[in-house]
């Protein structure tokens, strides 16, 4: 990374940049691209796999011409263009990205994931699902769902019975796995979550040159990442069910995908060089 970095913006995707169904608006795209043009480095930090991130980055966010640095699968690995990371542990030739693994691969914790999923009969695992079943799990069209199913570090579990989801979550916590339960899904992996991966990213020499760390998120899974930021912004994804946020968070009055325009215009642009 040879260019100067005015801000490093670590942002969640679903519910933060992207609205329901990965919705994004022309206005949001304009403000995001303006943020990048002013020297901000935008780093997706998300539960999505790197293959999903690439699709969103190029086709939804409109940043195909910008180098992609991302933390995938809620902290499972950091991906970046070749030559970006000091000590990469692998190279994804399909995407031309090198990576540093932060967590164990799913195959290394198969017995633990099986134990979590055996809380009830009928659990579905996204990493083992075909396109149609993956579509039912994720709510995405089959083609996109098949990309979502390409996972290495974070399993996505689904069951129609919420009591079964609670039992599986308890088993995951018992094993001290990374665990996050959303409204419909349970995420389980053997790593330290988004904050630990972001802290690993911040030791890169080029990252230390960024003048401020901005973190943007909407879920409990983003909380620890927000805690280490110089500027932390909370995007309301489900306000009626959200607890009160700590006072040092800046609450966006707008949900995704409209939040990014407000964040750039009101919070970030005043801190960027003209």
CATH code of the domain covering residue 208: 3.40.50.1000
- Does 156 share its domain with 79? no
Interacting residues of 37 by C-beta distance below 8 A, sequence separation 6+: none
Last residue in a domain, options 189, 217, 248: 189
- Does 120 share its domain with 90? no
The verdict on residue 1 lying in a domain is no
Q: What is the pLDDT of residue 237?
A: 77
- Does 142 share its domain with 166? yes
Q: What is the pLDDT of residue 208?
A: 86
Residue with tokens 């879920």: 219
Is a pLDDT exceeding 60 seen at residue 22?
Answer: yes
Interacting residues of 130 by C-beta distance below 8 A, sequence separation 6+: 146, 149
The verdict on residue 49 lying in a domain is yes
- Does 116 share its domain with 197? no
Nearest CA among 53, 45, 15 for reference residue 184: 15
- Domain region containing 265: 7-102+193-271
Q: What is the pLDDT of residue 6?
A: 86
- Does 71 share its domain with 148? no
The verdict on residue 20 lying in a domain is yes
The verdict on residue 167 lying in a domain is yes
Last residue in a domain, options 120, 155, 189: 189
Structural domain count, the chain? 2
Nearest CA among 8, 25, 3 for reference residue 271: 8
Interacting residues of 248 by C-beta distance below 8 A, sequence separation 6+: 232
Query: Is 218 noted as a catalytic residue in this protein?
Result: no
- Does 165 share its domain with 221? no
Q: What is the average pLDDT score of the chain?
A: 93
- Report the alpha-carbon distance of residue 40 to residue 36 in Å, rounded: 5
- Does 138 share its domain with 55? no
The verdict on residue 199 lying in a domain is yes
The verdict on residue 67 lying in a domain is yes
Interacting residues of 8 by C-beta distance below 8 A, sequence separation 6+: 40, 41, 43, 202, 207, 210, 212, 213, 214
Q: Are 178 and 187 in contact (CB under 8 A)?
A: yes
Last residue in a domain, options 128, 161, 189: 189
- Does 18 share its domain with 149? no
- Does 98 share its domain with 200? yes
- pLDDT tens for 185-227 read 999 999 999 999 999 999 999 998 898 999 999 988 899 999 9
- Report the alpha-carbon distance of residue 85 to residue 228 in Å, rounded: 21
- Does 89 share its domain with 118? no
Is a pLDDT exceeding 60 seen at residue 274?
Answer: no
Annotated catalytic residue: which of 12, 14, 218, 222? 12
Q: What is the pLDDT of residue 242?
A: 47
The verdict on residue 39 lying in a domain is yes
- Does 208 share its domain with 244? yes
Q: Residue 17 half-sphere exposure, CB side, CA atoms within 13 Å?
A: 26
The verdict on residue 2 lying in a domain is no
- pLDDT tens for 27-39 read 999 999 999 998 9
Alpha helices in the chain (DSSP H): 26-37, 50-55, 110-117, 131-138, 142-148, 162-174, 193-201, 205-208, 223-227, 259-262
- Does 98 share its domain with 198? yes
CATH code of the domain covering residue 140: 3.30.980.20
């Amino acid at each position: 990374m040879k260019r100067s970095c005015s801000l490093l913006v670590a942002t969640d995707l679903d519910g933060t940049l992207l609205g329901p169904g990965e919705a994004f608006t022309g206005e949001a795209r304009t403000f995001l691209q303006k943020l990048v043009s002013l020297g901000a480095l935008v780093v997706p930090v998300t539960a999505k796999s790197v293959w999903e991130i690439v699709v969103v980055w190029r086709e939804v966010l409109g940043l195909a011409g910008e180098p992609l640095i991302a933390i995938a699968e809620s902290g499972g690995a950091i991906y970046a263009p070749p030559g970006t990371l000091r000590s990469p542990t692998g190279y994804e030739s399909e995407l031309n990205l090198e990576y540093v693994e932060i967590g164990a691969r799913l195959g290394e914790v198969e017995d633990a994931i099986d134990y979590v999923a055996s809380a009830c009969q009928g659990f579905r695992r996204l990493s083992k699902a075909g396109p149609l079943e993956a579509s039912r799990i994720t709510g995405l069209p089959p083609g996109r769902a098949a990309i979502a199913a390409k996972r290495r570090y974070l399993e996505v579990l689904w069951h129609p019975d919420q009591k079964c989801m609670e039992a599986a979550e308890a088993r995951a916590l018992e094993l001290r796995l990374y665990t996050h339960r959303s409204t419909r899904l349970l995420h389980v992996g053997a790593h330290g979550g988004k904050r630990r991966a972001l802290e690993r990213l911040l030791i890169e020499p080029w990252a230390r040159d960024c003048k401020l760390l901005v973190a943007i998120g909407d879920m409990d899974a983003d909380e620890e990442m927000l805690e280490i930021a110089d500027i932390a912004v909370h995007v309301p994804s489900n306000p009626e069910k959200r607890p009160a946020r700590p006072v040092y968070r800046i609450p966006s009055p707008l949900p995704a995908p409209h939040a990014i325009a407000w964040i750039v215009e009101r919070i970030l642009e005043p801190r960027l060089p003209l």
